[in-house]
Chains A and B, each alone.
Chain A
């Protein structure tokens, strides 16, 4: 198993009398893409802020690389907060270089990384433009650039695609995947479940300050699977056998497995009895799971 890069143990945090996080424990492993989910006000941002030592936890332990975070670790980190902005009257390149230097890069390295990034996001011709003159989408690309300028080992992104159009969202997700392939661990919070399905390896869903779901995306989906198969077929299919019940509509059927029946047995039966054109395992979307968990 990979090494833990984030360790959160028995973390609790209240604001006044309101308990926002209650005894939360989770880990993030090196090299994975970890999604942090929860409804608005569920404590995602608070957890991230406590992890980055911006806010103080009431109890528990929050570690990055086995240490309490301090800006001396900033060379390892890329952080994109939910409430984010830019120095609007500064120029694009100098802003990226400034943050690169704050994260421990030399001016030459920071300039090189900044130019490469601007090239990657089609903003190379804007390096000497004041940020306020950029469009909102372009400004968000600069914000992401600030986050990744130091090619961080750990990226923490609080709702990174908020406000992005579909094209730029796709671009951002691709950049994140590229960074992940090159070795960066990515932790991101989002409300967009398709993003989680697309890039996340594992997830944590918080409800009422506690972990409601935690594990790999596949495991979570499997846990919420309703044990059904979708079938396109030719031939005659029985509506009920000792293995399943089938709801048939023309040449399509939803096969609901009976208790004790395995998918392998059902698939073998179907292959023997009809001409199987397409067989798909049914699993609820993360969106459905999210709604289901939140409504519990």
Chain B
């Protein structure tokens, strides 16, 4: 174990010291936050500009041949006009900001005409919403029932009660917290972490250091050391991501604080609304850890095997990408799986080694995993991990010192080349 820790320390320092580690760890989330920030800020600015279309106007002419528009809407800068041609001329000459034309046949054509100064593709539509409101509110006023008009204009709230197996279910967003975090971790582990492991094994083989290393440490201790180092790297990466996320959320929240008048509040997280039972939370955490780590472990075994079986990192990378793609393959069917988390596809993928972890995590998040299925899933994942370790070690023994050629499947299966005795 002591030697494993020496290896782990080296692996950790080696990766953490690389500028590429900090670039990939910091740049990616900073980039996402920056894009979100710019995009959010621009959309708020745009929305404000859109809404300020009328307030910034000096004169808006309404030509109403439909006779739907009520007189009490004509106040301040909103003026009634009779002649469409003359009104348009006023807009063309810059004497009016816009003309909104309600034709007589609007009930059949359902079309309005707006004439205004060109202010770009999106801002040219700044009077659409006003015209729409003007017409609909005028029609509504014919109901002569203020209560009905108020209901029409209000935002409705919904209370949904659901049942499963004859029992009322109680779904809460807080139930998604643990599975959600597990999913994020799963993606970080399967994409970033396993690639570090592959690089590490391939580097030792490609640089011809493997034989010296194996004369001083058992393969088992070497691989365990690499995985421990990797977990350290991931913990660092996750902590950095969490810190950056908090900074990002606070930053974006503060920047958009002024926009609450528009109804946009991006940092409205109801933390007080977590209403999950402790026993359920513990269950979710345990399942989350098992599913996430087993998924990572299976891929880690693949990386060790592939790294040892391929003569160069480049070749190992191409081969390993197949397994990474298979692992995230369910993403392509995410709509089907989310729509029917207990359906045939989800069931099949729940028991396939490379997809089981992700699917079980998703189903657990959606409360679509029965206790029996969870137990079978965990048992299978443990089995896959054990098989993965056996295969990875065999491939490592078999291929670690084959510097110049890729180990073929047939050669591996036939076991022509005997290898080390005590892994």
Binding site for B on A (CB under 8 A): 15-16, 49, 52-56, 58, 68, 70-71, 74, 77, 79-81, 83-90, 98-99, 101-103, 143, 146-147
B214 adjacent to chain A (CB < 8 Å): yes
Interface stretch (choices B205-213, B240-248, B264-272, B278-286) = B205-213
Is B208 within 8 A of A79, CB to CB?
no
A143 vs B211: C-alpha distance when bound (angstroms)? 12
Is B211 within 8 A of A81, CB to CB?
yes
Taking CB atoms and an 8 Å cut-off, the chain B residues in 382-420 that contact chain A are 401, 403, 416-420
Interface stretch (choices B43-51, B63-71, B134-142, B215-223) = B215-223
What is the minimal beta-carbon distance from A71 to any residue of chain B, in angstroms? 5
B77 adjacent to chain A (CB < 8 Å): no
* Most chain B CB inside 10 Å of its own CB: which residue of A56, A103, A143: A56
Q: A52-B215, A102-B217 are in contact. List 8 more A-B contacts (CB 8 A).
A: A54-B211, A56-B420, A70-B218, A74-B217, A81-B211, A83-B208, A87-B203, A87-B207
Is A83 within 8 A of B403, CB to CB?
yes
Binding site for A on B (CB under 8 A): 3, 6-7, 10, 14, 203-204, 207-209, 211-218, 221, 401, 403, 416-422
Choose one: B7, B208, B216; the contact of A103 (CB below 8 Å).
B216
Residues of B within 8 A of A49 (CB): 211, 401
A103 vs B214: C-alpha distance when bound (angstroms)? 11
Residues of A within 8 A of B214 (CB): 54, 71
List, sorted by A's number, 15 A–B pairs whose CB atoms are closer than 8 Å.
A49-B211, A54-B211, A55-B419, A56-B418, A71-B215, A77-B215, A83-B403, A84-B208, A86-B207, A87-B204, A87-B207, A87-B209, A99-B216, A101-B6, A102-B213
A253 vs B421: C-alpha distance when bound (angstroms)? 59
Residues of A within 8 A of B421 (CB): 53, 56, 68
Asked whether A74 and B215 contact (CB < 8 A) given A84-B208, A101-B6, A102-B3, the answer is: yes
Name B203's closest neighbour in chain A (CB-CB).
A87
Is A86 within 8 A of B209, CB to CB?
yes
* Most chain A CB inside 10 Å of its own CB: which residue of B204, B207, B212: B212
A87 vs B420: C-alpha distance when bound (angstroms)? 23
Name A53's closest neighbour in chain B (CB-CB).
B421
Residues of B within 8 A of A79 (CB): 211-212, 215
Is B203 within 8 A of A54, CB to CB?
no
* Most chain B CB inside 10 Å of its own CB: which residue of A56, A71, A89: A71
Is A55 within 8 A of B217, CB to CB?
no
Residues of B within 8 A of A15 (CB): 417
Choose one: B6, B204, B221, B416; the contact of A16 (CB below 8 Å).
B416
Name A107's closest neighbour in chain B (CB-CB).
B6
Residues of B within 8 A of A68 (CB): 421
Is B215 within 8 A of A98, CB to CB?
no
Asked whether A71 and B218 contact (CB < 8 A) given A83-B211, A85-B209, A88-B207, the answer is: yes
Name A13's closest neighbour in chain B (CB-CB).
B418
What is the minimal beta-carbon distance from A72 to any residue of chain B, in angstroms? 8
What is the minimal beta-carbon distance from A127 to any residue of chain B, in angstroms? 16
What is the minimal beta-carbon distance from A64 to any residue of chain B, in angstroms? 11
Choose one: A55, A74, A86, A147; the contact of B420 (CB below 8 Å).
A55
A102 vs B221: C-alpha distance when bound (angstroms)? 11
A81 vs B204: C-alpha distance when bound (angstroms)? 14
Is B216 within 8 A of A74, CB to CB?
yes
A80 vs B211: C-alpha distance when bound (angstroms)? 9
What is the minimal beta-carbon distance from B208 to any residue of chain A, in angstroms? 3
* Most chain A CB inside 10 Å of its own CB: which residue of B14, B215, B421, B422: B215
A121 vs B76: C-alpha distance when bound (angstroms)? 93
What is the minimal beta-carbon distance from A81 to any residue of chain B, in angstroms? 4
* Most chain B CB inside 10 Å of its own CB: which residue of A52, A79, A85: A85
What is the minimal beta-carbon distance from B407 to any residue of chain A, in angstroms? 15
Residues of A within 8 A of B416 (CB): 16
Name B219's closest neighbour in chain A (CB-CB).
A71
Is A54 within 8 A of B212, CB to CB?
no
Residues of A within 8 A of B212 (CB): 79-81, 84, 99, 143, 146-147
What is the minimal beta-carbon distance from A126 to any residue of chain B, in angstroms? 18
Residues of A within 8 A of B204 (CB): 87
A239 vs B336: C-alpha distance when bound (angstroms)? 106
Name A72's closest neighbour in chain B (CB-CB).
B218
Is B216 within 8 A of A102, CB to CB?
yes
Is A53 within 8 A of B422, CB to CB?
yes
Is A102 within 8 A of B6, CB to CB?
yes
What is the minimal beta-carbon distance from B412 to any residue of chain A, in angstroms? 15
Choose one: B14, B209, B215, B403; the contact of A54 (CB below 8 Å).
B215
Residues of B within 8 A of A143 (CB): 212
Choose one: A70, A86, A102; the contact of B422 (CB below 8 Å).
A70
Is A71 within 8 A of B217, CB to CB?
yes
Is A90 within 8 A of B14, CB to CB?
yes
Name B225's closest neighbour in chain A (CB-CB).
A102
What is the minimal beta-carbon distance from A9 to any residue of chain B, in angstroms? 17
Residues of B within 8 A of A99 (CB): 212, 216
Is A71 within 8 A of B216, CB to CB?
yes
Asked whether A98 and B217 contact (CB < 8 A) given A56-B419, A79-B212, A87-B207, the answer is: no
A237 vs B194: C-alpha distance when bound (angstroms)? 83
